[in-house]
């Protein structure tokens, strides 16, 4: 794992003149750091990826080289060779393992992220992960509390930086690989000059290695050696007037507000017979459906029933899941889900929050995909979401244009650390959504 192990999500770019809602992946500090490394090594205007050339990641020069084996790039180090002690911090700071299940600690993390995490370039929107979302995202089955790492000021104990890892099993072609997903790298705005991010990345990497895990999956908005896939977010207006009022999107050329509202209007009720909310008793059937579906893709999570219960059982304002149960046979035939990630709206007199749904995992066997996702849009509208976002992964391309999603202007690059895939995948070969 290396200097860009951060899941990266786009924030709307209000300066985009397109008719549709649009977004631009703003750089989190970890990506800004990687870019500074590259720029400092630029020679004659050509950027050299010297740092990345020292890391066990796919290299641009090796693209398409059929003589290179797919799989781990470097073998694991003996655990006895992994550094036993934490990396050193500047003298005013100390490491702190953050127990997210402790309400007071969770509030500290929430406050740090809410005030200092990813913003758009115009400083109009900032991600606002809820405390409930953080509990969900950071405590999957088998999570390691030691991978939730804070930095505190020694004298006041104030939490000023944070980084996390969670364990995951990813299937890459035919191999199931234990990996870490690194997320939520955040440094307090006033400490961005202290160079805390690099040591935090090294520290979380050390702790992951101590659990005998040597691979990682991550995403970024910048191009580094070497993406396994490059995807794009698409956005579907649910509350077009608000999105235009707050600068998320603009009124299209030759469009009035009333015509725009009519364009995005959805039916009042879902149309699929047997469409209902997922319940605990559905976990085995949903797991069977999902495993069968994800087997089609080159890279996808290896979910068991415990994972499905954690990631997909509905949790209010965190994750919503719906399925189709045949009214005749009571067989579960289809499934759709989305998670909730609002953004704070900064400096707007009328609105403080943008409620966004993100398409998660969807499986169809009997119901047409367009119909199933349209029902998901209807439910999201009923629940007062302002916008519904989806990546062009899996089979999502099949519904985006038809259901009036518009393309965002930023790209999201997927990476594997210490695992080689010879040729980049098309987004439709990717069965993975990272939070």
Q: Tell me which residues are annotated as active site.
A: 435
CB 25 within 8 A of CB 221: yes
Backbone φ, ψ for residue 78 (5° rounding)? -55, 135
Distances (CA, A) of 146 to 88, 163, 296, 329: 17, 11, 34, 47
CA distance 171 to 226: 19
Q: 39, 29 in Cβ contact below 8 A?
A: no
Angle between helical axes of 29-40 and 196-210 (0-180°, round to 10)? 110
**Residue whose C-alpha is closest to residue 257's, from 238, 241, 239, 246:** 241
Q: How many residues does the chain have?
A: 435
Residues 6+ apart with CB under 8 A from 115: 189
Asked whether the bond before 234 is cis by omega within 30 degrees of 0, the reply is: no
Residues in a beta bridge with 150: 96, 162
Which among 24, 132, 152, 26 has a CA at the least distance from the CA of 89? 152
Q: What is the distance between the alpha carbons of residues 40 and 34, in angstroms, rounded to a whole number?
A: 10
Indicate the SS3 state at residue 111.
helix
Q: How many CB atoms lie within 10 A of CB 403?
A: 18
Query: What are 332's strand-pairing partners?
Result: 325
Exposed, middle or buried: residue 78 (CB in 10 Å: 0-12, 13-18, 19+)?
exposed
Cα distance between residue 369 and residue 336, in whole Å? 9
What dihedral angle (degrees, nearest 10) is formed by the CA atoms of 137, 413, 195, 80?
70
Count Cβ atoms within 10 A of the Cβ of residue 232 and give its class: 0-12 exposed, 13-18 middle, 19 or more buried: buried
Whether residue 340 contacts residue 388, with contact meaning beta carbons closer than 8 Å, is answered with: no
Please give the Cα distance from 116 to 113 (Å, whole number): 5
């Amino acid at each position: 794992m290396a200097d860009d192990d951060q899941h990266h999500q786009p924030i709307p770019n209000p300066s985009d003149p397109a008719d549709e809602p649009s977004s631009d992946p703003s750089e989190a500090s970890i990506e800004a750091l990687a870019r500074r490394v590259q720029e400092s090594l630029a020679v004659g205007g050509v950027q050299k990826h010297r740092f990345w050339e020292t890391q066990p990641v796919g290299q641009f020069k090796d693209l398409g080289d059929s003589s290179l084996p797919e799989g781990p790039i470097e073998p694991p180090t003996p655990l006895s060779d992994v550094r036993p002690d934490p990396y050193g911090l500047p003298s005013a700071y100390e490491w702190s393992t953050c127990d997210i299940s402790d309400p007071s600690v969770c509030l500290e993390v929430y406050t740090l992220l809410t005030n200092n995490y990813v913003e758009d370039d115009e400083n109009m929107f900032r991600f606002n992960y809820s405390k409930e979302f953080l509990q969900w995202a950071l405590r999957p089955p088998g999570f390691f509390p030691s991978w939730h790492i804070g930095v505190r000021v020694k004298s006041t104990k104030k939490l000023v930086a944070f980084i996390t890892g969670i364990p995951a099993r990813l299937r890459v072609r035919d191999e199931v690989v234990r990996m870490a997903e690194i997320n939520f790298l955040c440094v307090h705005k006033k400490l961005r000059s202290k160079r805390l991010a690099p040591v935090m990345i090294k520290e979380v990497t050390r702790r992951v290695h101590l659990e005998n895990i040597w691979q990682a999956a991550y995403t970024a908005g910048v191009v580094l050696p070497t993406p396994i896939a490059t995807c794009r977010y698409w956005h579907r207006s649910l509350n077009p007037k608000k999105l235009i009022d707050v600068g998320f999107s603009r009124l299209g050329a030759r469009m009035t507000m009333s015509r725009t509202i009519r364009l995005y209007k959805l039916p009042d009720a879902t149309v699929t017979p047997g469409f209902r909310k997922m319940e605990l008793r559905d976990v085995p059937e949903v797991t069977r459906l999902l495993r069968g579906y994800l087997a089609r893709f080159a890279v996808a999570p290896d979910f068991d029933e415990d994972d499905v219960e954690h990631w997909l059982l509905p949790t209010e304002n965190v994750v919503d899941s719906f399925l189709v149960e045949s009214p005749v046979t009571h067989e579960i035939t289809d499934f759709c889900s989305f998670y909730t990630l609002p953004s704070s709206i900064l400096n707007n007199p009328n609105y403080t929050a943008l409620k966004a749904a993100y398409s998660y995992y969807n499986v169809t066997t009997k119901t047409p995909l367009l119909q199933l996702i349209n029902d998901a849009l209807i439910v999201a509208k009923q629940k007062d979401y302002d916008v519904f976002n989806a990546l062009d992964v899996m089979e999502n391309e099949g519904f985006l244009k038809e259901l009036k999603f518009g393309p965002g202007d930023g790209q999201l690059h997927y990476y594997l650390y210490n695992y080689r895939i010879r040729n980049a995948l098309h987004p439709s070969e990717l069965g993975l959504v990272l939070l």
